[in-house]
């Protein structure tokens, strides 16, 4: 009742995108911990940067040390975590910025929530596919070893559910392709979505 949004007085999205010579897009990358989400996001951002594109990465671990530091890994807190991710991504895309989201996003309802907030036209869902066993072998953060020792409750893929997306815009299987090839495939898939028409 005491909130008065000012969006109508701001410069609009077209003004920002024209200045940046690109169209904003949220590339939402989901998958198990260690599947390659952050690695591919980093590689793709570097290529786009070299092309003169304006980008940002919203990374799960990074946001949990700041904006989402008060959240745990319960179902309710996971939902709030994704809601905040999506709201921030929506702000970036409205300003014409190509935004990579690297977040496990383990359940379909969470991905639906993100799509509902960001908008169907602005969200490109990418499933970074790798089995629990493959991620456990990589264990780049040591989390799988901790989970095996029972030091992490609700660990996704072990005692926390992970539902693979049923119809993502793109699937990148990091067990059968290199990071370089996956990055190339991703950039080719979004190329027409980030170009001004």
CB distance 92 to 56 below 8 Å: yes
Element (DSSP H or E) covering residue 27: strand 25-30
How does pLDDT run across 145-164, given as a tens digit for each residue?
A: 888 878 887 788 787 788 99
How does pLDDT run across 92-107, given as a tens digit for each residue?
A: 999 999 999 999 999 9
pTM of the full predicted structure?
0.91
Most confident of 2-11, 67-76, 81-90, 142-151: 81-90
In the CATH scheme, what is the homologous superfamily, with its name and number, of domain 7-192? P-loop containing nucleotide triphosphate hydrolases (3.40.50.300)
Region for residue 36 given its phi and psi (left: phi exceeds 0; alpha: psi -120 to 50; beta: otherwise): left
Query: For residue 154, what pLDDT is reported?
Result: 75
Boundaries of every domain in the chain: 7-192
Radius of gyration of the chain (CA): 17
Residue range 77-89: average pLDDT?
94
Given CA atoms 28, 33, 34, 38 in this order, what sign does their dihedral have? positive
Residues 6+ apart with CB under 8 A from 110: 78, 79, 82
């Amino acid at each position: 009742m005491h909130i008065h949004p000012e969006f109508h007085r701001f410069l609009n999205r077209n003004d920002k995108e024209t200045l940046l010579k690109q169209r904003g897009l949220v590339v939402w990358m989901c998958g198990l911990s260690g599947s390659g989400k952050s690695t591919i996001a980093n590689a793709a951002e570097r290529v786009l940067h070299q092309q003169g594109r304006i980008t940002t990465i919203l990374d799960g671990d990074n946001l949990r040390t700041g904006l989402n530091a008060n959240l745990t890994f319960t179902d309710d807190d996971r939902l709030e975590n994704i809601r905040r991710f999506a709201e921030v991504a929506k702000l970036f895309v409205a300003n014409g910025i190509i935004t990579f989201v690297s977040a496990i996003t383990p359940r379909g309802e969470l991905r639906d929530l993100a799509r509902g907030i960001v908008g169907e036209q602005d969200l490109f869902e990418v499933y970074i596919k790798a089995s629990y066993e493959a991620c456990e072998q990589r264990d780049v953060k040591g989390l799988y070893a901790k989970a095996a020792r029972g030091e992490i409750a609700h660990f996704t893929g072990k005692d926390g559910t992970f539902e693979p997306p049923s119809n993502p815009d793109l699937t990148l299987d990091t067990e059968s392709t290199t990071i370089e090839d996956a990055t190339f495939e991703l950039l080719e898939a979004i190329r027409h979505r980030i170009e001004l028409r």
